[in-house]
Amino acid sequence: MQRVSKRLADGRELVYFFDDRAPAEGIPDDRRELAAHRPESVIRRDALRGDWVVVATHRQDRTHLPAQDECPLCPSGPDRLTEIPGHAYDVAVFENRFPSLTEDAPDPRALDGEDRQFEVRPGQGRCEVVCFTGDHDASFADLSPARVRTVVEAWCDRTAALSRLPGVEQVFVFENRGAEIGVTLAHPHGQIFAYPFVTPRTGRMLGNVREHRARTGRDLFADQLSAELAAGTRMVAQSDHWAAFVPAAARWPFEVHVYPLRRVPDLPALDADARADFAALYLDVLRRLDGVFGVPMPYIAAWHQAPVRQDRELAWLHLELFSTRRAPGKLKYLAGSESGMDVFINDIAPEHAAGLLRGEGKAA
């Protein structure tokens, strides 16, 4: 694999990752005329929930479901310049033009009311786009194992780089796939967020791990993984270095958790064998997901990594993959109980979902 770093016309960073070597003719520069990139973002704290909310009003103007011949993630051509100047690429990662968080976020003005009641901070961080292929009509499941390995290397590289930025507390790597999920660009891509705080989901999860360790002396992640492996009823796939299963308390109709069998805190900590072994297992899981109803499944694939500066000894890297589709033509919506009270109601038993993913039985 070869890595090449460039700059876009407005100063944003662009990094290419090639399966083998960069093109011998070199990589063209961005020939567009773009103003300097200066988005603004703030974060506001919800005192009752203890969560941070990002306010990034410039994102109202972001590109929304363009036609294929106007896709900003396709390679540039002689007659059309895009976000990626290269005429072809393997994997490309660049700073989002419409980021939720930005390194140069200005200090926000105080909100009306008591300052301590309404806490506001700059929305400092970074948001990057990860393009898995220059093929607009492909999906992650269509990638070769070699390309998936390159994507994994890109994830590891960017996690390490973003973790070194001042003020970054957590790096989140994810993919949204499908119009039903809410994607605004159809080109196969994922994203990376570098947050200036530890996310609520991670904080709660690691709090439970800490409590379990204090009470039992054992690791909760290890206990959960061992129990799923022993039960077997919710297993979907397993390899020398990874296990994929539907969790016993799955929230979504189809939800698969993918764990490395050896505990590591984050993607950069994976060894070469685990990185290489991931490709075949993950492609198998994605293809099984698409095979349940015979149509492409909308999904979110979310990597859970350790925070940058705290609780790293508690974390266990894992991927949570879930789909909103519960039946052909039917989606799982977050309605009153889920959205209002954070109590999920699942219409499909996790054991049945795992069986369908293993190819046992027929979907309703």
Catalytic residues, which ones? 189
Distance CA 96, CA 94 (A): 6
Distance CA 63, CA 246 (A): 35
In the sheet that holds 254-260, the strands lie side by side as 2-7, 13-18, 91-95, 126-131, 189-195, 170-177, 299-304, 318-323, 254-260, 242-245, 235-238
Chain centroid to CA 244: 17
- Map residue 152 onto helix, strand or coil: helix
Sign, Cα dihedral of 29, 31, 32, 37: positive
E strands present in the chain: 2-7, 13-18, 42-46, 51-55, 91-95, 120-122, 126-131, 170-177, 189-195, 235-238, 242-245, 254-260, 299-304, 318-323, 325-327, 330-331
78-105 core/surface letters (b: 16 or more CB in 10 A; e: else): eeebbbbbbeebbbbbbbbbebbbbbeb
Give the residue ranges of DSSP H helices in the chain: 145-163, 200-216, 220-231, 272-291, 341, 350-357
